[in-house]
Amino acid sequence: DPTRGTSDDCQPCPCPTGVTCAVVPKSKEVVCTNCPVGTTGKRCELCDDGYFGDPLGQNGPVRACHICKCSDNIDPNAVGNCNRETGECLKCIYNTAGFFCDRCQEGFYGNALAPNVADKCKACSCSPLGTVGKQSSCSQVTGQCQCLPNVAERNCSACQPGFFNLQSGNGCERCDCNPIGSNN
Partner 1 sequence: PRPDVDALPPGTHLLFAQSGRIDHVPLEGYDMKKKDAKAVLHLPEKVIIGVAYDCVDKMVYWTEITSPSISRASIQGGEPTAVIRSDLESPEGIAIDHLGRTMFWTDSLKDRIEVASLDGTQRRVIIDSDLVNPRAIITDPPHGNLYWADWNREAPKIETSYMDGSNRRVLIKDNLGLPNGLTYDSPSSLLCWADAGTHKVECMNPSRGDRSEVMEGIRYPFGVTSYGKNIYYTDWQRDSVVAVDRYSGKESDEMQPQKRTKLYGITTAYSQCPSGQNYCSVN
CB of 96 to partner 1, least distance (A): 15
Please count the residues of this chain forming the interface with partner 1, following the rule CB under 8 A: 26
Q: Which is nearer to partner 1, 30 or 132 (CB)?
A: 30
Q: How many residues does the chain have?
A: 184
| Residue 136 beta carbon to partner 1: minimum distance, rounded to whole angstroms | 20
**Of the ranges 45-53, 100-108, 132-140, 144-152, which one interacts with partner 1 (CB under 8 A)?**
45-53
Distance of CA 114 to the CA centre of its chain: 15
Comparison of 40 and 155: residue with beta carbon closer to partner 1: 40
Per residue, what are the HEC states of the chain?
Answer: CHHHCCCCCCCCCCCCCCCCEEECCCCCCEEECCCCCCEECCCCCEECCCEEEECCCCCCCCEEEEECCCCCCCCCCCCCCECCCCCCECCCCCCEECCCCCEECCCEEECCCCCCHHHCEEECCCCCCCEHHHCCCCCCCCCCCCECCCEECCCCCEECCCEECHHHCCCCEECCCCCCCCCC
Return the number of the residue (46 or 112) whose C-beta is nearest partner 1: 46
Closest approach of partner 1 to the CB of residue 79, in Å: 6
**From candidates 7, 26, 28, 182, binder to partner 1 by CB under 8 A:** 26
Closest approach of partner 1 to the CB of residue 40, in Å: 5
Q: Is 50 in the site for partner 1 (CB under 8 A)?
A: yes
- Interface ranges with partner 1 (CB under 8 A): 22-27, 31, 33-35, 37, 40-42, 46, 48-50, 75, 77-80, 84, 90-91
